[in-house]
Structure formats: structure tokens, C-alpha cells
Structure 1
């Protein structure tokens, strides 16, 4: 008589294999998702920098408030998916320049490798990680 089905040992081996593969794959997946979400901040920063330049052409000074001056609907501005908060950092000099900084919030705040990204009036893009290297790519 043939037995059909799985033995307990076979089932346990299968579960252990799946657990090992999951423990390796899940952190890689999370890291990939965090890197992919950075593009939202990068594109929003570039868009806001372009808006700042258009504002400068019209008013001969840079905007200090993203809501009232640039019409973004909020100050600080929250990106579409809610992963980053963007605001002017430091002192915005109306005649000299600006620096916009995107800070990771909510679930993206776990991205310790690249938690803040910034762009300046001369298109200098910075996003340094714990190693001190620029992670804006």
C-alpha cells in the first residue's frame, strides 16, 4: 500500500527552507523599496527648484514660503505619497539663493542611509549617508 502525502520531517524541512530564504530576501526588498522611494523626493526637489527659479524671474527674489509663494498647498510640503517633507532649510536669502531639504517621514524615516536630500539654487544636489558619500543617484 502506497502512502500519499508528506511526512512531518519533509514539511519541517520545507518550512525551514522558506524561513531562511525569507530572512535573506526581506531585508533586501526593504532596502530596494527605500531606494526607490528616494526618487519621489528627488523629483519633488527638482520641481520645487524650478518653481523657485520661475518665482525669481517674476519677483527678483526667491520664495520663502512654499504654500503662499509657490502655491504648493502646504508649508512644509509633503510629497504625493507622504514619504518626505520638503521645506527651505537655513536662511533663504531673497536675493542670494535657497536650499530646499527633503526629510524622510513615516515609514521612509527608517531609511537611515539617506534620510535627507537637498538641492540649492545652483543645482548642487546633496544626500549624504552614514559613510559620508553622496547617495543622490
Structure 2
């Protein structure tokens, strides 16, 4: 006589419980709540720094024109009223931050003041540069907390 052996079926408990998944989701949510504002502030600050670099580049173009003529060129409409008019005034200048800043120039034969005014994400952020390399910034949170440039 042959005996039939009973077959045992093993059920493995592979996978995660609902509690483990919920704990993981909560941890990810907490990390996201901390990281997103920091990242947003970083982007705002980097755009303000880029606008400052645009102003310095514009200043270099105007100083180059000064070296050729021994006076600062005066724009047709003084001060310029938009970034496009500022680009007409200093045609060799190409700004990087036209989406978040408007650039204007106010010039006389012996001096100039360049201004970057924030819009959108950088609303309220104002950067200025003069021919004497005096740099000012105002706007606090509009500049991402940047206090100097």
C-alpha cells in the first residue's frame, strides 16, 4: 500500500502592510513640505543674481561706448521705458532674465543709472547700478532674501 503524502502549501507573506506604506507616505510628505519652499526661494534668489549680472553686462556695454565717445550715450527716450528700448539703446547687450525682470536705463552725458525691476516671481525686487558702481537692492522676499549683489 502506498500512502499519499499530504502536500503542504506555503503561503509567503511578501509585501508591505498598509501601516508601513502610510508611514512612508507621511515621511515623504514632511520632506516635501520642507524642501519645496527652500527650492522656490533658491530659484527666486538665483533669478535676482542673474538680473544683477545682466545689469553689470549692460554697464560694461555703456562703459565701452563711453570709451569711444568720451561721454555716455543718451537714449532717445530717457529713461528707457522697457527692456526692448534698453536693448535698442545698448544694442550689444543681451539680457538673460527677460521673463522675470524689466530693465531700464537713465543716462546723461556724465552719468547713468541702470535699473532691473522684478515681475512675476520676483515682483517687488529692484536692483540698481550707477556709473560709479554703486549697487543697491530692495525687495526682500521678492529677491529671495538677497541683501546685496
TM-score, normalisation: structure 1: 0.75
In 1: Cα distance, 2:104 partner to 2:46 partner: 21
In 2: Cα distance, 1:134 partner to 1:124 partner: 16
1:100 Cα deviation after fit: 0.8
Task: Decide whether the 8 Å contact of 2:86 with 2:104 is kept in 1.
Answer: yes
Residue in 2 that maps onto 1:102: 116
In 2: Cα distance, 1:2 partner to 1:68 partner: 74
Match of 1:66 among 86, 97, 119: 86
Q: Considering only CA atoms, is the larger Rg found in Structure 1 or Structure 2?
A: 2
In 1: Cα distance, 2:146 partner to 2:30 partner: 33
What SS does the corresponding residue of 2:110 show, helix, strand or coil? coil
1:26/1:87 CA distance change after superposition, 3 Å = same
The runs of 5 or more residues in structure 2 that have no matched partner are: 1-10, 76-84
1:42 Cα deviation after fit: 1.3
| Deviation digits for residues 20-67 of structure 1 (CA, Å, limit 9, x no counterpart) | 110011100111122122221111101111111122233323342533
Any runs of at least 4 consecutive aligned residues in structure 1 with deviations exceeding 4 A, and if so which?
none
Residue in 2 that maps onto 1:119: 129
1:78 Cα deviation after fit: 5.1
Task: Decide whether the 8 Å contact of 2:101 with 2:122 is kept in 1.
Answer: no
Residue in 2 that maps onto 1:36: 46
The alignment's C-alpha RMSD in Å is 2.7
The runs of 5 or more residues in structure 1 that have no matched partner are: none
What SS does the corresponding residue of 1:127 show, helix, strand or coil? strand
The alignment of Structure 1 onto Structure 2 pairs a total of residues equal to 126
TM-score, normalisation: structure 2: 0.70
